[in-house]
Chain A
């Protein structure tokens, strides 16, 4: 029986941007990411992207304690995982090697 094909770790431009922001800021919530991205992330898509990244294991999330005056649900904050950090580093390096003219 043929073995299962190993999963190739990929990073879309949005995922890469989110990881960069999370690596830089440690913990952030959805709207903070939208604000920090200077409109490159939209509030309509950021939560879907964050959910997908969590499934891939690039980020992890926890529920923040709800502020007492809000009286609602707790906020979900996101953090980059070691895997996410490694993928971002290698992805950026690969980008610099393959497309040096676009390297920052």
Chain B
């Protein structure tokens, strides 16, 4: 029979070390179980529920404290190898992001006729459009080429995850407000008109959600405009998380130390391709009304995370069984 706290303990065992388990988690769980059993024996059902809830709150607090202590310990004791690995990954990422921005801007430059009358402002307005995607692609390739082929410590991995999280926040700000404003400014500059009605890609996140509220009337549903708005909103949210998702993917494939750099680079490129094919594939399912827009927008991130978990599980099993 599962007693209250058993699940809590097995959950904690996955994240906490044996010392933390013995000194912090297990005393909490045992006290919770005994207190809960005493309340049940004396027939105080509500008291037992309150104990259970208090136990969970205490447990979450402990996990937060342990996570904080881990963060502090991660910030100490950096070795020369750690520093070299981090600097290498960050330097590679910066270069890759810059290259990706230029490469991703090229099709827009060609399609919109910027080259016929080039001006620095026209190029600048196109940068935000390419930037979020470049952040994901460049960041991932930077991690893969910066770390590829060598083992790295938990400190380096955690620092790169924190940097990727910061990248996701920047990407969110870019996709939510900067890119729509830049798109609108670009179109005004190109057409010379100032009274243009903004398209979906020129609406900020707040304006998008306001438009969705306006078109919630069922009589508009047949035009599919609501679907397009909803998909744009959710895909911007999902895309802004993609630097973090792909950083986890890159760390996962680089963590084993058994792939060469070029193989990791190929795997990362295949993942980008798969991600965007999936994103465009599921979009058609939204228009067919097979799946809701929010599910379609988040499917590529979920699939990438699932794929990323594969190498981690494989390398853990390999370590456990001393394979190879």
Contact = CB atoms under 8 A, between A and B. Distances in A.
A74 B23 contact: no
B22 to A, nearest CB: 8
Contacts, number: 64
Contact of A51 (B3, B24, B31): B24
Contacts of A61: 23
B35 A45 contact: no
B65 interface: yes
A29 B33 contact: no
A54 interface: yes
Given A43-B58, A47-B62, A73 B30 contact: yes
B62 A74 contact: no
A30 B31 contact: yes
Contacts of A72: 3, 30, 33-34
Contacts of A74: 30
* Chain B at the A interface: SS class: helix
Interface residues on A, range: 20 to 34
Nearest to A71: B3
B58 A42 contact: yes
A30 B62 contact: no
Interface string B63-77: 001100000000000
A48 B29 CA distance: 13
Contact of A43 (B33, B37, B54, B65): B54
Contacts of A51: 20, 23-24
18 contacts: A30-B31, A43-B54, A43-B58, A44-B59, A45-B61, A47-B58, A48-B24, A48-B62, A51-B20, A51-B23, A54-B23, A67-B34, A69-B37, A70-B37, A72-B34, A73-B30, A74-B30, A76-B27
Given A44-B65, A70-B33, 5 more contacts: A47-B23, A47-B28, A51-B20, A51-B23, A70-B37
Interface of B: 3, 20, 23-31, 33-35, 37, 54-55, 57-62, 65-66
Interface of A: 29-31, 42-45, 47-48, 50-51, 54, 61, 67, 69-70, 72-76
